[in-house]
Structure 1
Amino acid sequence: MTETLKAAIRLDVVIVGGGLSGLAAAIETAISGHNVTIYEAARVLHEVGAGIQITPNSSRILQRWKLSDDFWASAAEPRQFIVRRYSGEVLVLENEFDKTIREKYGASFIGSHRVDFQEALYIRAKELGVKFRFGMRISNVNFDAGELMTQSGEKIRGDLVVAADGLWSLCRAQLHTRDFEGVPRPTGDLAYRLVLTLDQIQDPELREWVSKPACNLWLGPKSHAVGYSLREGTEFNLVLITPDDLPSGISRQAGSVEEMRALFSDWDPILNRFLALVDSVKKWKLMHRKEMRRWIHESQHSSFVFVGDSCHPMLPYIGQGANSAIEDGAVLGRLLGHIQRKEHIGKVLEMYEELRKPRGDAIVKEALGQRDVFHMLDGPKQRERDEILLSQIGKETKEAPFPIRWCCPQVQPWLFGYDAYEEVEKAVSGDPFI
């Protein structure tokens, strides 16, 4: 395991936003020996959503952060990875998926509830001395001075300011250049998100699906569905992606269970048996933003940096949004462990951007490409895709390029094999700033 670094000086680091990316940056920065304060607009830490898939590139970081035993016990580790055509025909089958992933990458692939995940990060951050200021909504950012103003008129300054305020980042909105103008744009897709508990399920076959964790994916015309277990195999998370019909300007609202069932009525009978148990559901518009030209503010002595969805919002088609945010926090915080003087902050941020931006931008593009594979209309291209998938069932190693990127021998190691700490140490040894 990589040794813990402690910086020669203690910086006062201000983080805007207490979501996953803000907590990640806070934890590693505190481990590196700095004073960290998170300013969060909400009055209490409150995660929304349902399940999240934590892949090895992220879980190896969480292991190093020593998240609580309760968190790891609450997760569910899929034993199989199964891709089906929307009719139910199996196209990809990876048995002993849990063991294979651990052997390859030395870390696990797990399903967790977002509430459990954020709570575990929050608890660990507090243990490390991170301070939290809730109900603190930022109204103005002075990038040159590294100064924030809250709606109540309080001025906040830090040696370093980290924007971790998500897709609708106010910090990003206040950068008045052509590259940062505008707001998140619709992708044309929306997500139905729901969680079923074993208490709601009487059907023995469905109960087995929940209690024996697997990662299930259904591919269909203009739509796909993902299902996996949470909380030690006592809950089942379903995400259904389908064309967006929400009104302009509405990003989420309560959905119609009947409408959802109708959209998927000709899909796999197993999926429809799960949907028959649903009594309420929410609809989320999937949004994205144009690529950000820089992740740091371009002043001579830059002390302002972006992490997570504030600079690289990712669509969910390869499940890397939260995992990339954890990587961001680990890399930034670890670099700050090498710092010797305040004059090094600008160099740290340049190295962070050099390490993280190419990968973040590439994952964003990879996710968009995966959507095209998932949502093919029935026809020649879909049949060609299915023939490739079926031809490699039972093969221990797939042939590249494989359409399902989580199984591709080129893409999977690139995603799951990434080691944030190794990347930092290589960068610092090649370009020392001490």
Structure 2
Amino acid sequence: MAGTLDSTLRLDVIIIGAGISGLATAIETALSGHNVTVFETAEGLHEIGAGIQITPNSSRILQRWGLSNDLWASAAEPTSLTVRRYSGEVLAVEEDWKEKIRAKYGAPFIEFHRIDFQTALYARAIELGVQFRFGVRINSVNFETGEIASQSGAKIRGDLVVAADGLWSLCRAQFLPKDFEGVPRPTGDLAYRLVLKLDRIQDPELREWVSNPKCNIWMGPKSHVVGYSLRGGTEFNLVLIAPDDLPSGVSRQAGSVEEMKALFRNWDPILNKFLALVSSVKKWKLMHRKEMRRWIHESPNGYFAFVGDSCHPMLPYLGQGANSAIEDGAVLGRLLGHIQSKEQIGKALRMYEQLRKPRGDAIVKETFGQVTIPINPLGTIAPRTIYAPFPIRWCCPQVQPWLYGYDACVEVDKALFTIRGQ
């Protein structure tokens, strides 16, 4: 693999799925000079109307991608991060969060509306010449030939096929031995997700919480809540984690507002004032999967790779699902920019797996560590100064640098330099 991004080689890369991992892979692969076609079952972009937290490990990638000014203008950048006991008392606080994060990592911790974010990624991919085929359901993947078949019977081949089809990945189901794993497994938790608009909030205290972006985390018995601003402080996003009571086989459905309020009625009065404004809510079963043994497949006639939730679905407790998916796309696409022949695709994929799988699997494990926060008999974590190991991993002096300090481009370039030096 040569050390240049201006190779004349143009691969035909097929990506299955137009979610965040698919769009990220499409952008970086197109920037590396290859032809990219994305196949998506839905008739268009299909992100839900909720918030997304972009941490420095991926915001530094987004800055390099040249996304629209409108997207950056829509960001909310929290000025502090506060961890509260469920009843409202402050357990730990990081003031000047915005400035500290930028100073430590050279990139921001920002919050977007998911629809704005996915739309901006899609627009950038279009600018780079990525082709999209919406409303096309892929029924089968031939891992030996690199050929995919749609529900209509059409067959498409690419030099490389990338599975970016999420938690319920068809590609994963066909790739793994039948005795290895079935469907995703429930964690025992569910998430209520909701967004409140500032123009519908009259209470001055609540308006200040929304218009002056901060990140707040409430910890309680068997539950926790994360709240943060969106769209420049004009909307407020809440994610409430509670024990799962959805029926078996149901992954999401409309929730009962009254039931949600009852679950959190003894929590912080501020939180309950927000919940009093809610008119409807959806709840989502939180699911996970076993670790995959391999993220790539090579054969004489076909190459295949997994990215994002298709190979390492992450629970929301660390806010790293989308960020890790962006890392995957950046690493894979950048590696493809260094190959000089189709015979080197396999080498690029092996390097992708070596760079990404250990980190992706480790973050998955760390999310479960965030769930098991020490609880005292009253059902609350005890106040403590922030020092390692701190139970809230977002501000733990050990975990935070490992998560946020990662630079996908640097990791690729270091790996390539090592190979060239051998």
Q: 1:8: Cα distance to partner? A: 3.2
CA distance in 2, matches of 1:311, 1:121: 21
CA change 1:353–1:400 in 2 (3 A) is: same
**Structure 1 segments of 4+ aligned residues over 4 angstroms from their partners:** none
CA distance in 2, matches of 1:180, 1:147: 24
Q: Does 1:408 align with 2:396?
A: yes
- 1:379 aligned to 377, 380, 404, which one? 377
Superposed CA offset, 1:218-261 (max 9, x none): 00000000000000000000000000000001000000000000
Q: What is the 5 A alignment of 1:156-235?
A: 156-177=156-177, 180-235=180-235
Name the TM-score, length of structure 2 as normaliser.
Answer: 0.97
CA distance in 2, matches of 1:269, 1:163: 45
Query: What does residue 241 of structure 1 align with?
Result: 241
Q: 1:378: Cα distance to partner? A: 4.2
Amino acid at match of 2:317: Y
Alignment partner of 1:9: what SS?
coil
CA distance in 2, matches of 1:301, 1:349: 15
Amino acid at match of 2:382: D
| Contact in 1 for aligned 2:145/2:302 (Cα 8 Å) | no
Alignment partner of 1:36: what SS?
strand
Query: What does residue 306 of structure 2 align with?
Result: 306
Query: What does residue 289 of structure 1 align with?
Result: 289
CA RMSD of aligned residues (A): 1.6
Query: What does residue 395 of structure 1 align with?
Result: none
CA distance in 2, matches of 1:49, 1:60: 24
CA distance in 2, matches of 1:176, 1:31: 31
| Contact in 2 for aligned 1:222/1:377 (Cα 8 Å) | no
Name the TM-score, length of structure 1 as normaliser.
Answer: 0.94
| Contact in 1 for aligned 2:113/2:230 (Cα 8 Å) | yes
Superposed CA offset, 1:141-198 (max 9, x none): 1000011000000001000000000000000001241575311110000000000001
Q: 1:297: Cα distance to partner? A: 1.7
Query: What does residue 26 of structure 2 align with?
Result: 26
Q: 1:263: Cα distance to partner? A: 0.2
CA distance in 1, matches of 2:155, 2:221: 51
CA distance in 1, matches of 2:232, 2:23: 24
CA distance in 2, matches of 1:365, 1:339: 33
Q: 1:298: Cα distance to partner? A: 5.2
| Contact in 2 for aligned 1:80/1:98 (Cα 8 Å) | yes
CA change 1:179–1:291 in 2 (3 A) is: farther
Amino acid at match of 1:63: Q
CA distance in 1, matches of 2:393, 2:275: 27
Superposed CA offset, 1:326-372 (max 9, x none): 00000000000100000000000000000000000000000001011
Q: Does 1:15 align with 2:2?
A: no
CA distance in 2, matches of 1:247, 1:433: 56
Q: Does 1:131 align with 2:131?
A: yes
Alignment partner of 2:389: what SS?
coil
CA distance in 1, matches of 2:421, 2:119: 35
Q: 1:299: Cα distance to partner? A: 3.7
CA distance in 2, matches of 1:325, 1:25: 9
Q: What is the 5 A alignment of 1:93-172?
A: 93-172=93-172
Amino acid at match of 2:334: R
Give the gaps of 5 or more residues in structure 1: 393-397
Superposed CA offset, 1:123-158 (max 9, x none): 000000000001110001100001100000000100
CA distance in 1, matches of 2:255, 2:230: 23
| Contact in 2 for aligned 1:21/1:308 (Cα 8 Å) | yes
| Contact in 1 for aligned 2:4/2:338 (Cα 8 Å) | no
Give the gaps of 5 or more residues in structure 2: none
Q: 1:419: Cα distance to partner? A: 0.3
CA distance in 2, matches of 1:4, 1:341: 13
What percent of counterpart residues are identical? 74
| Contact in 2 for aligned 1:111/1:229 (Cα 8 Å) | yes
Alignment partner of 1:218: what SS?
strand
Amino acid at match of 1:163: A
